[in-house]
Structure 1
Amino acid sequence: MARTIPHDHPMYRRIAKELLGELRDGTIPPGERLPGERQLAEHFGVSRVTVRQALEVLRRDGLVETDRRGSHAVLPGTPVAAPATFLAFPVGARAADDPSAVEQATLSWEPPPPEHAEALGLAPHRPTLVHRYESAAADGRGLRVAVTSFSAVALTEVEELARYHSRADTTGSPRLRRAYDWMRRAGLTLHHRDSLTLHDDTRSLRVTRRVHDQYARPLEITDLAMDAQQEELVYAFTLPATEEPHAGRDSARWVHSRAL
């Protein structure tokens, strides 16, 4: 019979503090499902009862949520940036460690723009998860506006994205920098195509990214608009080693900009 630790025992509070630290430093990435109670108990060298009490502390503080898929962190602020070998989401997102950037992101459950619905194979007026991102320098220059719509395939097969359905239209600034990482972890091979259009009359640049999987199923489409007079957008990419021939032919991201 398992020994029950009194609820006022300090052990579970210490474990709650250590778990929170690992969530914040990225040892357990924010937004992803936490390991099970047994794994956490082995990891921290305590009983499952202590782990259960520690999780309850974090739930009461609004830092952990539990649903039928398991427990996951809901920490405020910017999640740990995706590794450099992954595409950054959304296209045009500034580096997570850029201190000069002023950013805002929102999520909604609504019908996407008509051209997005067509690209994703959605029926007209059918709602989906829509992500909006705005970023500018501290002085207001270099505004970037990106709108992303996700497909039914992405929301069905990528549990981290599916979880956001019930949390759309809520307060906060959701950051999905690891969206492409989540897709790959779900077993999807990502193929992306970025189209750039320069409008001479307004000196604005439009980037359209379309992403599909190994079965040619659309996953998401993003439209990015930015002022080409004020910024230069640098596109960097990494080719994976030959021992990973099916891990994606290239991994790329928009990494930085500077005033022209």
Structure 2
Amino acid sequence: MAYEVAAPKYVRLAQTLQGRIEDGTYPPGSRVPSENQLVQAFGMSRPTVVRALELLKRDGWLESRQGFGTIVRGRPEVAERKVQRGREVLDRQEDRASGRLVEVRQVPVPPRVAALLGVPRTAQVLLRRLLIEADGEPVELSSSYFPAGMVEGTELGDSALLAEGLRAHLEARKKVRFDHVTERVSARIPSREEAGLLEMAEGEPVLSVLVLACDASGQALQVTDVLLPADRQELEETYRLD
């Protein structure tokens, strides 16, 4: 049995603030809200707020300036080099992607996805599955799950490719706003169906990047399971040493 471990509160707050820097809510050179304002806005304790700000300063997103408070530096060079699968999933235009839509249907919600979406395990959710190819070879299987409330009034249930990203589509039609993404990376053996779509031999592992996309309140809007054949991937990250 797999257990979901939520990220610490200070990490979730840091991710939210980072997202607001990236979308221009807090532009470079501006001051971020004071500790007191952040405590009131997010309902978190001062130590949690302080720790989140320290994390962003350490990673180069923020800096302290005497007499000015905490200032936004913008996206650090290290972050520019980091692959953000969640952003790719949300912003990818299906009709321009090098792949095909292989499945769109209502399915029983997988237990792990039910916990993340906050829906009953007996619920039905919409599955929208996209297979990405490169040089004629499948390199990614992206399975997005949407609760019923997010599907009504959208084109997510249609079998036609979307001419815009999932985020843009939902924000325009459901009047929601995506605020932050949490990614959880693990390795597993794919199902027979998944292995077949990825043209993998039985028993070969995949990297699973579970993308949880939320609004500012932390409510999950969609969950996407991105499968990458392990033998076709190389992960690299550059980071500072304290």
Given the two structures, how large is their TM-score scaled by the length of structure 2?
A: 0.46
Higher-Rg member (1/2): 1
Structure holding more helix per residue: 2
Given the two structures, how large is their TM-score scaled by the length of structure 1?
A: 0.43
